[in-house]
Every structure is written in structure tokens, then in C-alpha cells.
Amino acid sequence: MRNRHIARYSRRSFLAGTGAVAAGLSFGPKFALGAEEAKLNFYNWDTYIGETTLDDFKDASGIKVTMDLFADNDELFAKLKEGNPGYDLIVPTNDFVERMVQAEMLVPLNHGKIPNFKKNVAKAFQDAEFDPGRKYSMPYMWGTQGIGYRKSRVDGVPDSWKWLLDSDKYAGRIALLSGSSQAIGMALKYLGHSYNSTDAKEIKAAEDLIIKQKPHIKVFADDNGQDLLLSGEVDLTMEWNGDILQVMEEDDDLAYVVPKEGSIVWQDTLAIPNGAPHPDNAHKFINFILDAEAGAAIADFIQYATPNAAARALLPDDYSKNPAIFPTDETLSRCEPEVYKGETAQRLRDEALTRILAA
Amino acid sequence: MDSWRKNPLVFWVLNLSPSAWLILFFIVPLTLVWVLSFGEKRGLLEVAITGTFDNYARALQPLYLEIFWKSIWMAGLATIACLIAGYPVAFAIAFAPDRWKPFLLLALMVPFWINILIRTYALIAVFRTRGYVNFTLEWFWDQANGLLTLLGLGGYQLIGARYEPLELLYNNFAVNMGIVYAFFPFMVLPLYANIEKLDRSYMEASLDLGAGHWRTFFSVVFPLTWHGALSGIIIVFIPALGAFFIPDLLGGTDSQLIGNVIERQFKSANDWPFGAALSFLLMYITFGALALRALVAGRNRGLDV
């Protein structure tokens, strides 16, 4: 899934300042009796944290963070499914928070230990449908999925899923994402249904649409649509906004648009899995991430949209007012979050995908 | 030591660690997966082992059988390509001067010191539209075009107005190339071992007695070295059958192999019992291939005697 993001070394000076500020924050005594050992095992996406965040946190709290990386939510889920191998903090996406809550894999959070949540996080993220009252998850980053395209090879702005799913205009120059929800979900959206439809007939219609389009599709990308776009292999690709943003910095000819039929809006969260050996430290780290300065340093480095209003306010306009990072409310109103659809619907979609790929 | 029967203690001590290894890391996990294949999903996490055959019934639907067949076909094709390319390479190494042999074998093995995933990614850079193959061909095209212009034929566009890059990536050809590239040494090494042992005088006799090179190969060399070929075929075919990241990275819209379907069951589809059933069907095909090999090898031995 999302390839989390880039180094923007030009802004190192800003980051250097953060360390000093962060060092000023103070967390309780390091070796109080009965306290947890000063360690934290963090399971995160690749390049999805500030350049110095872990060191800053260690300076501030004395807690040493060990970070492991996962490639997608499926991997995260599969790894924790048979019991927590020792992680204290994980970064599941909204629909996986739903799944994990339902499977009782997450520890309820103690909001009293995370004062920065109420203080800094934007109102829209104070509550969430997928986690009412934010009992189990804190917002980390959010974004959309849409079409990344090469301006010079496309007529105007390809602001419809039609150009990917129902047209031979760009035959042989199109990439779709291969995840079981994504291509089918967008086809559902294009046909006027919900991205999260569980209706067998609607899913069949989406399946037929993609099979009919198959001769014009070059590849079902395994979340490397941005690389295909950058290398000129395709001219239009379905992708996550952050991925396209990353290659837009390398090539001015690339752009990103959320199609008019709508798309999905996702939210990555911070959550503590059951059996976490250091839940107290995890709370401290969550609170640290939701701090204005620390949050700004992370967002500035990875260039995803932060739900942390205080952090966003600290950043320059080319980030905080960038429409590819923060879509307009009008665009957002056409997007829906992916929800966990239950195991039966999951199977329906996986079988549809198997048929699409076998056709 | 003439017989382990005389020294049972030595035998058991020596045998202990490989046996423990085999049981702990092969028999036990495999049994777990096998048991799982008779399970039924109950919600997100629970799987009830009910002894049901539903997963197998589902795996035997035409949809999945076709994918199995396609995987066998692709693996077979790649194996044959390895065999055809492997013989000349094995011959070249076996007939090279002795002091060169270690270096030639090393050249064959060096790529193996690099992770297979990285080598597969490297193939993308070779085959893609703006990749090294197309760059090379484009260079030749430019030279040819320049030559034509020099000859005063530039205006006729005899070789097209501009170089059209070949579509080498994101199709089944690329998947086959990927598999051949990944498993080629597995074919060459057993072939080399057999050809190395081959008594050269047989070939000299055959050539002296008037057989051509092809005739000599098929009537003399192949019958004497085909054991190596058979080993090569088996150890290329089996991993090729389960390939999943090669079609993932190099394949096009119709390159789904059974390995991809199985991988998805354990990840996004979250249907481990079904994935386990598919895995075991794949394993039965593998056992079939091994049994076939044993049968053929056994029969041949009978004839030799």
C-alpha cells in the first residue's frame, strides 16, 4: 500500500529546531519504582515518521523506541492475528481499526494520559465513525485515493474514473491498484454505488466492468503506480495521494486529481495492541506525536495530511494549503471512508478479484 | 563404520539434530496447515476445525482449476526453456579448460548471492519501456537510420518514422523470463555434474562412426545425462509452480498464478483454511511430480541391469 514518504532535506534546519523544543518537554521520572523499562516497540509503515522523532522522544523521555516496518495492513493484521509478538504501538488504517476492535485485538486508550489529543487535534478528528469516542485509536495521518497522471500525455484533467475503467482513450497506458477493495471499490463508485457495497449484484457489475476494460489496462499495480508513472510506463494510475505527491516533486509533468465520482478518504491511526509490554510508554509516545512541534516535524518530513491542527498551523503554505495534501471540503464530501465489510463480503470481493485476474 | 546397526548410539546421536529439525520445522508446521485446511471460518479470527471438505470442494471449482493448470503450464514452459538453455551452458563449462571451470561456475553462482527479490526488480529495469533492452535496440535503430540517411534513403522511412519500444514487461513473457532467470542455475548444476562424468570417448566414437552432432546429442549424450536433466527439471519446476512475487512484479493483467491466489488468502482475503487447502493441492501436484520422477528413474534402472 502507501509508500510512505520522502526526505526533504532542504528543511533540515526546521527539524533541527524541533529537537531543542522537544527536549524541553518533560515526562515523569525515568526509573520510578514499578515503572516500565524505558523501551517501546513501534510497528510502523516505511518512511512514515519524522527524521528525528524517535531520537527527540528519547531525549525528552529517556524511552528508547525500536521501530519495525510493515508493508500493508494485511501484513500487520496477519502478524498480530496469532498473538502480539511484542509490539507496543501500531499504525492501522481506519477499516483495520474496525476489524481489530471487533476481534478484540486493541487496548482501550486512557485519554487522561494523552492531553495533546483534546488540545491539538482538529475537531473533525476528535471523533470517528470507525471508532466512536476514539476509544482505541488516535488519528495520525489521513489522505485520499485518486488518479495520478502525466499532464503532457492526457487531455485536460482526467477527473473521472471513466478514463481508467470505461474507455479505450488511453489504452495500454493505464495502471489500476490490485488490492481486492480498491479496483472493485472504484468501479462501484463509478457505477454510482457505494465503495463499500456488499451487494453481490453490484459487485458483479463492477467485476464485469473491469473485465471489459482489461485489454486496455497495462498492469494491476502492486502499489507501485507512482513508479510506473514516473518511469513513463503508464500515463494514468490509480494511487494514494501521498505516493503521487512524492513523484510530483521529481517530475513537474505529473499531477493528482480526485475524480468527480468520488473516492475514498483514509485515516491512519495510532493504537496499542493487546499484550503490549509497555502500554504506558506507548501512551507517552502517542502524546508526544500529537504535540504541535513534534507533529509538525513529522508532517513536514513525510508530507501527508496531518489531523493535528496545531501542527498544521506551524507549517508553511506549500504544505498546509496544498490541495493535493488537503483536498477541499467539496472534494471530501464526495469521498467515503472504507469500512470493514464483514467476512462474507470480503470473500465475495476476493472471488471477484480472482475472476478478474484470471479472465 | 561399516554399519549403523553395529553402532546404534552413534547413529542416533548423529541423526538427532536433522530429525529434530525436520520434525520441528517441516512436519509440525505442515501438519498444522493440513489440519487448518479442514477448518471453517467463524468470524474474523476463529477457525473451527470441523473436518469439512468445503475448502477442497471450493478449490476444485473450474475457476481455481484453470489457475492451477495455467501455473503448471507456465512452470512447465519455464522449465523447458531452462533445459534448452541449460545444456549448452553446462556443456561449455564441462568442456572448458580446467583452470577456467571454477570461475565459470562462480559466474553462474554469483547472482545467487544477491536476494532474488532484488534480482527480479533489476529485471524490471532491464525490460521496461524505458529500460536497457529498449535503450540498446533504440541505439541500433538510430545507427541504422543514420546509415539509411547517409545512403539517401532517409525519406522512405524504411524502418519506421521512429523507434517503437518493445513491450517486454507486464506480460506472461516477462513472468517466464523471470522464472527462468531465477532458477536457471538449478538446471545447469545437475546437468554439469552429469556431463562432467560423461566418458568423452562415447561422443568421439559416435562422431567417428558418422553420426552428426545432433544425432550424437540425442542418441548418445542425452541418454547418458538425462538423470541430471531430470533432477534439474524437478528442482526448477517445483519452485516455479509456487512462484508468486515474480508474476506479481513482472506480470500483466492476466499473469495471476496459483501462488498469487494462495498468498491473497493468507493476507487480504483473510481466509486461511481456503489458502491451506489450495496449498495442499499444490503440494499434491508436487508429490505427483516427485513420484513420477522416482517411477521413471526406477524403471530406467531396471532396464540398465
Taking only the tens place, the pLDDT of each residue in A168-189 is 999 999 999 877 678 999 999 9
Tell me the C-alpha to C-alpha distance, in Å, between residue A306 and each of A85, A247, A303, A329. 29, 20, 9, 15
In chain A, residues with a C-beta closer than 8 Å to the C-beta of B271 are 346-347, 350
Per-residue pLDDT reduced to its tens digit, A331-357: 899 999 988 888 888 899 999 999 999
**Segment A222-250 mean pLDDT:** 89
Q: Same topology for domains A9-137+271-326 and A143-265+331-358, yes or no?
A: yes
CA torsion through residues B214, B217, B220, B223, sign: negative
Per-residue pLDDT reduced to its tens digit, B9-20: 888 888 888 999
Q: Quick check: A112 pLDDT over 50?
A: yes
Per-residue pLDDT reduced to its tens digit, A282-292: 999 999 999 99
Q: Which three cell numbers stand for residue A59?
A: 531525549
CB–CB of B41 and A343 under 8 A?
A: yes
pLDDT score at A137: 96
pLDDT score at B302: 53
Contact A93, A269 (CB under 8 A): yes
Per-residue pLDDT reduced to its tens digit, B110-148: 988 889 999 999 999 999 888 899 999 999 998 988 888
In chain A, residues with a C-beta closer than 8 Å to the C-beta of B266 are 78
Domains in chain B, CATH or no CATH each: 59-128+168-304 (1.10.3720.10)
* Residue ranges of B 32-61 with Cβ closer than 8 A to chain A: 41, 43-45
Model confidence band, residue A34 (pLDDT cutoffs 50, 70, 90): low
Give B19-46 as a DSSP string. HHHHIIIIIHHHHHHHHHTTEEEETTTE
Contact A286, A111 (CB under 8 A): no
Residue ranges of the alpha helices (H) in B116-256? 116-127, 132-150, 172-197, 200-208, 213-216, 222-241, 245-250
Contact B178, B248 (CB under 8 A): no
Q: Is B260 on the interface with A (CB under 8 A)?
A: yes
Residue A356 distance to chain B (closest CA, Å): 8
Please state the CATH superfamily assignment of the domain spanning residues A143-265+331-358 in this structure: Periplasmic binding protein-like II (3.40.190.10)
Q: Quick check: B104 pLDDT over 50?
A: yes
Residue ranges of the alpha helices (H) in chain A? 12-24, 53-61, 73-81, 94-102, 115-120, 162-165, 182-190, 200-213, 225-230, 241-248, 279-289, 292-302, 309-314, 317-320, 329-333, 343-358
Model confidence band, residue A16 (pLDDT cutoffs 50, 70, 90): very low
Q: Quick check: A53 pLDDT over 50?
A: yes
Per-residue pLDDT reduced to its tens digit, B49-76: 999 999 999 999 999 999 999 999 999 9
Distance between CA atoms of A329 and A331, rounded to whole angstroms? 5
Q: Which residue in B130, B169, B261 is closest to A232 by CB distance?
A: B130
**Segment A241-266 mean pLDDT:** 91
More confident position, A122 or B44: A122
Give B133-154 as a DSSP string. HHHHHHHHHHHHHHHHHHTT-G
CB–CB of B44 and A233 under 8 A?
A: no
Best residue of A76, A176, A230, A354 to probe chain B, by most B CBs closer than 10 Å: A354
pLDDT score at B211: 87
Q: Which residue in B44, B253, B268 is closest to A74 by CB distance?
A: B268
DSSP state of A43: E
Cell 499444490 locates to B282
Q: Quick check: B2 pLDDT over 60?
A: no
CB–CB of A222 and B169 under 8 A?
A: no
Residue A359 distance to chain B (closest CA, Å): 7
pLDDT score at A36: 80
Q: What is the CATH architecture of A9-137+271-326?
A: 3-Layer(aba) Sandwich (3.40)
Q: Is A78 on the interface with B (CB under 8 A)?
A: yes
Model confidence band, residue A131 (pLDDT cutoffs 50, 70, 90): very high
The β-bridge relationship of strands A174-177 and A236-240 is: parallel
pLDDT score at A125: 93
Model confidence band, residue B300 (pLDDT cutoffs 50, 70, 90): low
pLDDT score at A22: 40
Tell me the sheet residues that pair with A142: A267, A305
Contact A280, A36 (CB under 8 A): yes
Q: Which residue in A72, A181, A219 is closest to B252 by CB distance?
A: A219
In chain A, residues with a C-beta closer than 8 Å to the C-beta of B67 are 354, 358
Q: Is A171 on the interface with B (CB under 8 A)?
A: no
Smallest CA–CA distance from B170 into chain A, residue: A219
Q: Which three cell numbers stand for residue A249?
A: 516533486
Q: Quick check: A8 pLDDT over 50?
A: no
pLDDT score at B149: 84
Distance between CA atoms of A232 and A226, rounded to whole angstroms? 10
Model confidence band, residue B301 (pLDDT cutoffs 50, 70, 90): low
Q: Quick check: A24 pLDDT over 60?
A: no
The β-bridge relationship of strands A89-90 and B39-42 is: unpaired
DSSP state of A132: G
Q: Which residue in B249, B251, B267 is closest to A75 by CB distance?
A: B267
Per-residue b or e along A325-349, where b marks 16 or more CB atoms closer than 10 Å to that residue's CB: bbbeeebbebbbbbbbbebebbbbb
In chain B, residues with a C-beta closer than 8 Å to the C-beta of A355 are 63
pLDDT score at A17: 38
Type of residue numbered B26: F
pLDDT score at A31: 43
**Segment A146-153 mean pLDDT:** 95
Residue B203 distance to chain A (closest CA, Å): 48
In chain B, residues with a C-beta closer than 8 Å to the C-beta of A347 are 269, 271
| % of residues, chain B, pLDDT over 90 | 56
Best residue of B33, B41, B44 to probe chain A, by most A CBs closer than 10 Å: B44
Q: Is B217 on the interface with A (CB under 8 A)?
A: no
Q: Is A355 on the interface with B (CB under 8 A)?
A: yes
In chain A, residues with a C-beta closer than 8 Å to the C-beta of B166 are none
Per-residue pLDDT reduced to its tens digit, B165-224: 888 999 999 999 999 999 999 999 999 999 998 888 898 899 899 888 889 888 888 888
Q: Which helix (H) or strand (E) holds A88?
A: none
Q: Quick check: A2 pLDDT over 80?
A: no
| % of residues, chain B, pLDDT over 70 | 95
More confident position, A4 or A231: A231
More confident position, A183 or A246: A183
| Domain boundaries defined on chain A | 9-137+271-326, 143-265+331-358
